[in-house]
Structure 1
Amino acid sequence: MSDDGSRRNTVIPEVPSLRQKWLGDKFSLLRHEAGLSLTAASKIADRSTASLSRIENGLVAVPPRDVRPLLDAYQVTDRDIRETLITVAAEVQQERKGWWVEQSDSLSPSFVDLLRLESTATSIRTFEPSLIYGLLQDEGYARYAAQSTRTWASDQELERFIATRKARQGILKRDEPVEFHTIISEAVLHQPLGGPEIFARQLKALLDSSERDNITVQVLPFSDKPHPGVTGAFAILSLSRLDFVHVELMTSDVYVEDEVSVAEYSAAYDVLAELSYPPERSRETIAGIMESLKR
Structure 2
Amino acid sequence: MPAPTVRLRRLASELRQLRKAADLTRDELAERTGINVATLYRIETARVRPQARTLAALLDAYGVVDPKRSELMTLLKQSTHRGWLNTFASDLPERYTSYIEFENEASEVLNYECLFIPGLLQTESYARAAIGGTLPECTRDEIESRVEARMRRQAVLTKDQPLKLWAIVDEAALRRAVGGRDVMREQLEHLIRVTELPTVHLQVIPFDAGAHPGMPGSFVVMNFAEPMGPDIVYIDSQAGDLFLEEEPDISRYNLVFTHLRAGALSPSASTSLIAAAAGGMRPGRGA
Same fold (TM over 0.5): yes
Q: How does 1:219-234 map to 2 (within 5 A)?
A: 219-223=204-208, 225-234=210-219
The amino acid of 1:140's aligned partner reads S
CA distance in 2, matches of 1:21, 1:205: 35
Distance 1:91 1:49, change over 3 A: closer
CA distance in 1, matches of 2:39, 2:200: 44
Aligned residue number for residue 3 of structure 1: none
Distance 1:285 1:15, change over 3 A: closer
Contact 2:220 2:233 in 1 (8 A): yes
Matched, 1:17 2:8: no
Contact 2:112 2:220 in 1 (8 A): yes
How far apart are 1:207 and its partner, in Å? 0.8
Distance 1:275 1:34, change over 3 A: same
Aligned residue number for residue 211 of structure 1: 196
Matched, 1:113 2:98: yes
Secondary structure of 2:202 counterpart: strand
Aligned residue number for residue 96 of structure 1: 81
Unmatched 5+ residue regions in structure 2?
none
Secondary structure of 2:215 counterpart: helix
Percentage of pairs with the same residue:
26
Distance 1:203 1:53, change over 3 A: closer
Aligned residue number for residue 115 of structure 2: 130
**Alignment counterpart, residue 253 of structure 2, candidates 259, 265, 284:** 265
Contact 1:110 1:252 in 2 (8 A): no
CA distance in 1, matches of 2:119, 2:250: 22
C-alpha RMSD over aligned residues: 3.5
Aligned residue number for residue 168 of structure 1: 153
TM-score (normalised: structure 2): 0.79
Matched, 1:58 2:47: yes
How far apart are 1:59 and its partner, in Å? 2.9
How far apart are 1:221 and its partner, in Å? 1.3
How far apart are 1:49 and its partner, in Å? 9.1
CA distance in 1, matches of 2:76, 2:197: 27
Contact 1:55 1:62 in 2 (8 A): no
How far apart are 1:185 and its partner, in Å? 0.2
Contact 1:246 1:254 in 2 (8 A): yes
Matched, 1:245 2:236: no
User: Deviation string for 1:144-164 (max 9, x for gaps)?
Assistant: 111111235543222111111
Matched, 1:34 2:35: no
Distance 1:179 1:108, change over 3 A: same
Greater Cα shift, 199-208 or 240-249? 240-249
Distance 1:186 1:275, change over 3 A: same
Distance 1:18 1:254, change over 3 A: farther
How far apart are 1:15 and its partner, in Å? 4.7
Aligned residue number for residue 269 of structure 2: 281
**Alignment counterpart, residue 242 of structure 2, candidates 254, 267, 270:** 254
TM-score (normalised: structure 1): 0.77
Distance 1:139 1:223, change over 3 A: same
Runs ≥4 residues deviating over 6 A: 47-51
Contact 1:42 1:49 in 2 (8 A): no
